[in-house]
């Protein structure tokens, strides 16, 4: 059963150089209370894994603007000028990954797979330093799983066992990331008693959830 803690308590679990997955896409599905608490804690030299770096003053982008992120794996930085500026200045290391490949590498980690084979990036710089295979006359790149120490997840509702229900597009990367981290911390609007969520509505089973944080409105 997950422990219910505060956002500052969650942020205090994060140490320099930790790898953190952030479920979000352009701030949709972002665990904003957890992000704000991590900003307040000021923990430095973090590795971020996310689809996009959102905006300079919204979502995960606030951590980049606050210069807490040392390295980054993501698909999109076009809406965050701070990310671009720090990359050009050599202040942040960025691995840009095609979005579908990023999602599958995270999913592979959660499923315990050794990697995925994808044709995306064949004969481009994406394949540099990676193994290639050919099946039925088509080339594929071996992409390794992406794991994390922590995942900061945003859900709409949880029961006290940690079973999660999401709201619309907050399901973008949150469910996969909840499975791919050693420790999953979930920010929710509501925590209900066991049995108050229809099992048919559960997207992430509680076995993947370590901590719950009730969102402060």
CB neighbour list of residue 198: distance below 8 Å, 6 or more residues apart: none
The string of pLDDT tens digits covering residues 46-68 is: 999 999 999 999 999 999 999 99
Whether residue 205 is contained in a domain is answered as yes
The string of pLDDT tens digits covering residues 14-44 is: 999 999 999 989 999 999 999 999 999 999 9
- Per-residue pLDDT at 217 exceeds 80: no
CATH of the domain at 97: 3.40.1080.10
Whether residue 69 is contained in a domain is answered as yes
- Per-residue pLDDT at 216 exceeds 90: no
- Residue 210 CA, chain-centre distance (Å), reads 15
Number of domains in the chain: 1
- Per-residue pLDDT at 135 exceeds 90: yes
Whether residue 150 is contained in a domain is answered as yes
- Per-residue pLDDT at 111 exceeds 90: yes
Mean pLDDT on 151-161: 97
Strand order across the beta sheet in which 138-143 lies: 116-118, 138-143, 132-135
Note the pTM of the prediction, 2 decimals.
Answer: 0.95
pLDDT reported for residue 29: 92
- pLDDT, mean over the chain: 96
Q: For 133, phi and psi rounded to 5 degrees?
A: -135, 160
Whether residue 176 is contained in a domain is answered as yes
Whether residue 127 is contained in a domain is answered as no
Task: Show the domain range for 165.
Answer: 3-113+146-214
The string of pLDDT tens digits covering residues 75-107 is: 999 999 999 999 999 999 999 999 999 999 999
Q: For 29, phi and psi rounded to 5 degrees?
A: 80, 15
Whether residue 140 is contained in a domain is answered as no
């Amino acid at each position: 059963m997950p422990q219910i803690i505060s956002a500052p308590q969650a942020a205090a679990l994060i140490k320099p150089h930790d790898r953190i997955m952030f479920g979000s896409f352009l701030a949709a599905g972002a665990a904003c209370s957890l992000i704000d608490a991590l900003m307040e804690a000021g923990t430095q030299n973090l590795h971020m894994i996310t689809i996009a770096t959102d905006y300079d003053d919204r979502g995960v982008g606030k951590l980049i603007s606050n210069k807490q992120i040392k390295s980054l794996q993501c698909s999109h930085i076009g809406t965050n000028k701070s990310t671009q500026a720090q990359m050009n200045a050599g202040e942040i290391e960025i691995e840009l990954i095609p979005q579908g490949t990023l999602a599958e590498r995270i999913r592979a980690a959660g499923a315990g797979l050794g990697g995925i084979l994808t044709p995306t990036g064949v004969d481009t710089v994406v394949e540099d330093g990676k193994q290639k295979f050919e099946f039925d006359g088509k080339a594929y790149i071996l992409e390794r799983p992406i794991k994390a120490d922590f995942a900061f997840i945003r859900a709409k509702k949880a029961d006290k066992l940690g079973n999660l229900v999401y709201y619309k597009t907050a399901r973008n990367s949150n469910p996969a990331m909840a499975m791919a981290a050693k420790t999953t911390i979930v920010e929710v609007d509501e925590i209900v008693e066991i049995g108050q969520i229809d099992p048919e509505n559960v997207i992430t089973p509680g076995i993947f959830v370590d901590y719950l944080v009730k969102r402060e409105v």
